[in-house]
Amino acid sequence: MSAATIVNLPDQKTAVIPKKNYINAEDGILSWLFTADHKRIAILYLISITFFFLVGGTFAGLIRLELLTPQPDLVASDTYNKLFTMHGIVMIFLFLVPSIPATLGNFLIPIMIGTRDLAFPKINLLSWYLYMFGAIFLSAAIVLGGVDTGWTFTTPLSTHYLNTHVVTAGLGVFIVGFSSIFTGLNFIVTIHRMRAPGMTWFRLPLFVWSNYAASVLMVLGTPVLAITLVLVVLERTIGIGVFDPTKGGDPLLFQHLFWFYSHPAVYIMILPGFGVISEVMSTFSRKRVFGYSAVAFSSVAIALFGFFVWAHHMFIMGVSNYSALVFSLLTMLVAVPSAIKVFNWSFTMQKGSITFETPMLYALAFIGLFTIGGLTGVFLGSLGMDIHLTETYFIVAHFHYVMVGGMLMAFLAGLHFWWPKLTGRMYPESISQLSAVTSFIGFNLTFMPQFMLGYLGMPRRYHSYPPEFQVLNVLSTAGATVLGFGFLMPVLYLLWSLKYGKIAGNNPWQATGLEWQIQSPPLTENFIEMPVMDHEAYDYEWLAHKTEQEVTTVG
Amino acid sequence: MDNAIVATHDTHVEEHHVELPQLRHHFETEEQQREAGTFGMWLFLLTEIMFFGGLFFAYLLYRNWYNPAFVAASNQLSIPLGTVNTAVLISSGFFMALGVWAAEVRKKSLLVLFLILTNIAGLAFLGVKAVEYKEKWDKHHIPGAHFDITEFVNPPLNPKTGKPVEEPLSPDMAQKTQLFFVLYFAMTGMHALHMVIGIVLLFWLTYRANRGEFTEGYVAPIENFGLYWHFVDIVWIFLFPLLYLINRHPGT
């Protein structure tokens, strides 16, 4: 299909919220806490991660406020260390890793592949409880006085030199890790074994493909982080010496084991975001995703390459030059599948019938910001540049471009896109477009100066800096304020829309996925009769044809 | 779609009626449910491999670096006890395999018998392991403040030849034996923890098997537990040579 297909669905103005749906199927708080319904668990996750996003965001705000002036004046230096550590730990382990898979993925994957639930509903609920249990540990670490290792738990700093709550925080991350293992395991089994008749691998929506790739990373990577944290905790409590040079251990081993998980972890965070962008791009261009199989396989390729690049975090830590060369080359290779995705999304828009609803605005922001984030990653992957730029604000800007500019924008794109499906109501369109634009401007104002700061040599993780860096830091803090408003607005108007939003109807976007062919919000069982997939994904011809038939049968 | 096996249940009702677990509502067929369960178990075992993988990686690295210390320290382990334990664990796995077979051919008393035998062998393994740990405790080979390296710096003399039974190590290298014991305890301890979890599950499965839950065609829990139990066996099959057997003499 080269050109866009125009679909005219029946008017959605007369739509009503269906009498029976998953939200009102059972009443009472206990029916939510003991639910096995993937959609309700997704909502539980959504509430929890939003809470921790606001916590982590508050830490970020305090960090930026401190950096407004060169001299330390708002907080003491050890408090500052705790702030950036807890910002990192909360944002990564409690927000970014579970963000899209555990909320949108949990909600949508069973519906997209045409089944009633994930393969193991109780394990799905268990994973939420594990998440909350780990989150309690992490909150305890914060409330009892914080932890200041940096989110990386670097030894020997974490095991020998600090007097903060490293063990509590480490156990918290350990437990949260199992929640992500169980989510990944559930997705893989579900996608392999529960697809509806006719739903072949190459008819799966790309959102499913990218979550599948992320699940593989979760399942293979997270256990390594778990054992690493066990060893850190043992080292700290009883001094086993595995990472202690005085006893023959090697701190570099910690780095290898930690980054063996934590580099793939950034793909765990970004891959589901890619999936959202594929769905949104196709829907708002009214075209099949350009190069469907290339986009699908590039997810798998990223997952595969992602496991063999971890040592690029260690170029300045004394790894051998030869291995550094190999890891540098492999790091550049990851740019290839990422670029395939960006080019294919761009081509999807070509000759499409593009409309600029909020999800599309966020998705366009994603493409721009992710491209910058990805390309600066290539700078950092090359050996010479990395020595100059690592441990400076350049790194900070790079991963915020990917994680916030990429992942968070994708999460918001997805949240707005599927909000009608989740709740049955539309978000208010114009204010949300405003918030998308605000976030985009605020984001660039926050982090673009940080690229310059890093290039000029301002190190990360310091709470004071030479006065000549102040102008750029003030710009960055000003941007963070704008960004803060940009992220706060959706929280408020989405809550508002729960009661006052326009009723959405089944398919407000005229999208093709199975999830749009059922009522919104869906029934607990998702489908009244089990679907049979008889067309390709993103087949707008099929949708146009289907609606014609519907009109005739109704009339 | 109905569960064919559950549907035939009523035709041969036994003396005590048991409620068979129904097909979970979200699966289309019994077969799909069984496949999903087994596939999930395999994936879980994959995560377990990655979990142990970190320890194996550390062991191989340090063994390579501090070979003399690791050789001397591994000579402290008792090959007879290790061999006995290997035999015990393999027979436990054998009983488990027979248990899966008994469940499949729907022989309740055989299934219960094999599950109990599996459990006894598992407990015996832990008993032998406890004896070995006790010996390490007595010799001050538990890593930590009381770790004692004299045995490696001044090995006891062989009464016949009057020579040391081992090459003496320099105090610096002898310190590294502590790393061996750290990894020994971490790996065998993590393995034992998996055994303990397995044994607890076995008691529960035996109770349920005794109520006849797994001999009416619904064998998935027994099968999946069997996979777990065999995985725990396999880990030991790798641990035994790595810790006890390989390269017991320096320079060879």
The complex's ipTM?
A: 0.86
Q: A365 is written with which tokens?
A: 């922001």
In this predicted structure, the answer to whether residue B166 has a pLDDT above a threshold of 80 is no
In this predicted structure, the answer to whether residue B20 has a pLDDT above a threshold of 80 is no
- Contact B182/A240, CB-based, under 8 Å? yes
Distance CA A316, CA B79 (A): 44
Of A193, A231, A257, the CB nearest to B39: A193
Distance CA A159, CA A136 (A): 22
Return the pLDDT at A111: 95
| B164 DSSP β-pair partners | B157
Of A116, A189, A222, the CB nearest to B40: A189
Comparing C-alpha atoms, which of A133, A229, A137, A130 is closest to residue A180?
Answer: A130
Q: Which residues of B touch A234 (CB under 8 A)?
A: 186
Those residues with Cβ within 8 angstroms of residue B45's Cβ, 6 or more apart along the chain or in another chain:
B227, B228, B231
Of A220, A227, A249, the CB nearest to B179: A249
* Four-CA torsion B242, B243, B247, B251, nearest 10 degrees: 120
- Contact B175/A247, CB-based, under 8 Å? yes
Q: How far A310 CA sits from the closest chain B CA (Å)?
A: 15
Q: Quick check: A347 and A288 in contact, CB under 8 A?
A: no
Distance CA A60, CA B120 (A): 56
Q: Which residues of A touch B143 (CB under 8 A)?
A: 238-241
In this predicted structure, the answer to whether residue B3 has a pLDDT above a threshold of 60 is no
Return the pLDDT at A6: 60
Distance CA A531, CA A534 (A): 9
Residue B252's pLDDT band (cuts 50, 70, 90): very low
Give backbone dihedrals phi and psi of A382, rounded to 5 degrees, phi first: -85, 135
User: A residues 121-160 near B, CB within 8 Å?
Assistant: 121, 123
Comparing C-alpha atoms, which of A227, A149, A137 is closest to residue A181?
Answer: A227
pLDDT, tens digit (0-9, with 9 covering 90-100), for A457-507: 999 999 899 999 999 999 999 999 999 999 999 999 999 999 999 998 888
In this predicted structure, the answer to whether residue B240 has a pLDDT above a threshold of 60 is yes
In this predicted structure, the answer to whether residue B22 has a pLDDT above a threshold of 60 is no
Helix (H) or strand (E) holding A512: none
Q: Which residues of A touch B58 (CB under 8 A)?
A: 231, 242, 253, 257
Q: Which residues of B touch A525 (CB under 8 A)?
A: 25
Q: Give yes or no for B32 touching A (CB within 8 A).
A: yes
Q: Give yes or no for B238 touching A (CB within 8 A).
A: no
Q: Give yes or no for B44 touching A (CB within 8 A).
A: yes
* Four-CA torsion A490, A493, A499, A503, nearest 10 degrees: -80
AA identity, residue A403: M
DSSP class of A203: G
- Contact A193/B35, CB-based, under 8 Å? yes
Return the pLDDT at A5: 62
Q: Give yes or no for A13 touching B (CB within 8 A).
A: no
Q: A498 is written with which tokens?
A: 């729960």
Q: Which residues of A touch B183 (CB under 8 A)?
A: 242
Distance CA A441, CA A114 (A): 39
Q: Give yes or no for A25 touching B (CB within 8 A).
A: no
Q: Give yes or no for A529 touching B (CB within 8 A).
A: no
| A459 DSSP β-pair partners | A392
- Mean pLDDT, rounded, of chain B: 85
Query: Buried (b) or exposed (e) across A201-234, using 16+ Cβ within 10 A?
Result: eebbbbbbbbbbbbbbbbbbbbbbbbbbbbbbbb
Q: How far A410 CA sits from the closest chain B CA (Å)?
A: 28
Distance CA A501, CA A232 (A): 49
Most A-contacting residue of B29, B35, B173, B182 (CB-CB within 10 A), to test interface:
B182
User: B residues 117-146 near A, CB within 8 Å?
Assistant: 143-145
Q: What Rg value do the Cα atoms of chain B yield, rounded?
A: 23
Average pLDDT over residues B10-23: 45
Return the pLDDT at B176: 87
> What is the CB neighbour count within 10 angstroms for residue A18?
15
Q: Which residues of B touch A260 (CB under 8 A)?
A: 54
Distance CA A450, CA A458 (A): 9
- Which residues of chain A fall short of a pLDDT of 70? 1-13, 549-555
Of B48, B51, B58, the CB nearest to A253: B58
Q: How far B62 CA sits from the closest chain A CA (Å)?
A: 8
Return the pLDDT at A1: 44
Return the pLDDT at A550: 62
Q: Give yes or no for B1 touching A (CB within 8 A).
A: no
Concatenated DSSP letters for A374-407? HHHHHHHHSHHHHHHHTTBHHHHHHHHIIIIIII
Comparing C-alpha atoms, which of A78, A95, A106, A164 is closest to residue A134?
Answer: A95
Q: Quick check: A109 and A187 in contact, CB under 8 A?
A: yes
Distance CA B228, CA B200 (A): 13
Q: Give yes or no for A455 touching B (CB within 8 A).
A: no
Of A192, A219, A227, the CB nearest to B54: A227
- Contact A240/B186, CB-based, under 8 Å? yes
Residue B19's pLDDT band (cuts 50, 70, 90): very low
Q: How far A295 CA sits from the closest chain B CA (Å)?
A: 25
Q: Which SS3 state, helix, strand or coil, does residue A416 take?
A: helix
Q: Which residues of A touch B53 (CB under 8 A)?
A: 223-224, 227
Distance CA B179, CA A380 (A): 35
Q: Give yes or no for A524 touching B (CB within 8 A).
A: no
Give backbone dihedrals phi and psi of B36, rounded to 5 degrees, phi first: -60, -45
* Four-CA torsion A401, A403, A404, A408, nearest 10 degrees: 140
- Contact A220/B47, CB-based, under 8 Å? yes
Q: Which SS3 state, helix, strand or coil, does residue A503 take?
A: strand
Chains A, B: CB contacts within 8 A come to: 110
Considering all CA atoms of chain A, what is the largest pairwise distance in Å, rounded to the nearest integer? Answer: 83
Of A194, A248, A260, the CB nearest to B176: A248
Q: Give yes or no for B177 touching A (CB within 8 A).
A: no
Reported as half-sphere exposure (CB side, CA atoms, 13 A), residue B77 has a value of 28
* 3-state DSSP of chain B: CCCHHHHHHHHHCCCCCCCCCCCCCCCCCHHHHHHHHHHHHHHHHHHHHHHHHHHHHHHHHHHHHCHHHHHHHHCCCCHHHHHHHHHHHHHHHHHHHHHHHHHHCCCHHHHHHHHHHHHHHHHHHHHHHHHHHHHHHHCCCCCCCCCCCHHHHCCCECCCCCCECCCCCCHHHHHCHHHHHHHHHHHHHHHHHHHHHHHHHHHHHHHHHHCCCCCCCCCHHHHHHHHHHHHHHHHHHHHHHHHHHCCCCCCC
Q: Quick check: A465 and A456 in contact, CB under 8 A?
A: no
AA identity, residue A434: L
Helix (H) or strand (E) holding A491: helix A470-500
Residue B238 CA to chain centroid, in angstroms? 10
pLDDT, tens digit (0-9, with 9 covering 90-100), for A16-57: 888 889 988 888 889 999 999 999 999 999 999 999 999 999
Q: How far A303 CA sits from the closest chain B CA (Å)?
A: 16
Residue with tokens 């999807």: A348
> What is the CB neighbour count within 10 angstroms for residue A88?
17
Those residues with Cβ within 8 angstroms of residue A344's Cβ, 6 or more apart along the chain or in another chain:
A289, A290, A291, A294, A295
Q: Give yes or no for A249 touching B (CB within 8 A).
A: yes
Of B26, B62, B175, the CB nearest to A117: B26
**Is the N-terminal amide bond of A459 cis, ω within 30° of 0?**
no
Residue B16's pLDDT band (cuts 50, 70, 90): very low
Domains of chain A plus CATH, in order, are 5-553 (1.20.210.10)
Q: Quick check: A94 and A107 in contact, CB under 8 A?
A: no
Q: How far A527 CA sits from the closest chain B CA (Å)?
A: 11
User: A residues 379-408 near B, CB within 8 Å?
Assistant: none
Those residues with Cβ within 8 angstroms of residue A532's Cβ, 6 or more apart along the chain or in another chain:
A196, A197, A198
Q: Give yes or no for B182 touching A (CB within 8 A).
A: yes
Those residues with Cβ within 8 angstroms of residue B200's Cβ, 6 or more apart along the chain or in another chain:
none
Q: Quick check: A109 and A196 in contact, CB under 8 A?
A: no
DSSP class of A13: T
Q: A395 is written with which tokens?
A: 């790194």
Q: How far B157 CA sits from the closest chain A CA (Å)?
A: 27
Return the pLDDT at B44: 94
- Contact A120/B36, CB-based, under 8 Å? yes
Residue with tokens 């749009």: A516
Comparing C-alpha atoms, which of A97, A46, A50, A89 is closest to residue A267?
Answer: A97
Q: How far is CA A65 from CA A90, A441, A467, in A?
A: 19, 19, 16
AA identity, residue B62: Y
Residue B1's pLDDT band (cuts 50, 70, 90): very low
Burial of residue A78 (number of CB atoms within 10 Å: 0-12, 13-18, 19+): middle
* 3-state DSSP of A272-339: HHHHHHHHHHHHHHCCCCCCHHHHHHHHHHHHHHHCCCHHHHCCCCCCCHHHHHHHHHHHHHHHHHHH
Those residues with Cβ within 8 angstroms of residue A504's Cβ, 6 or more apart along the chain or in another chain:
A12, A15, A420, A421, A423, A424, A425, A426, A520
First to last CA, chain A: 30
Q: Quick check: A113 and A195 in contact, CB under 8 A?
A: yes
Q: Give yes or no for B56 touching A (CB within 8 A).
A: no
Of B47, B179, B186, the CB nearest to A248: B179
Residue with tokens 């006085």: A145
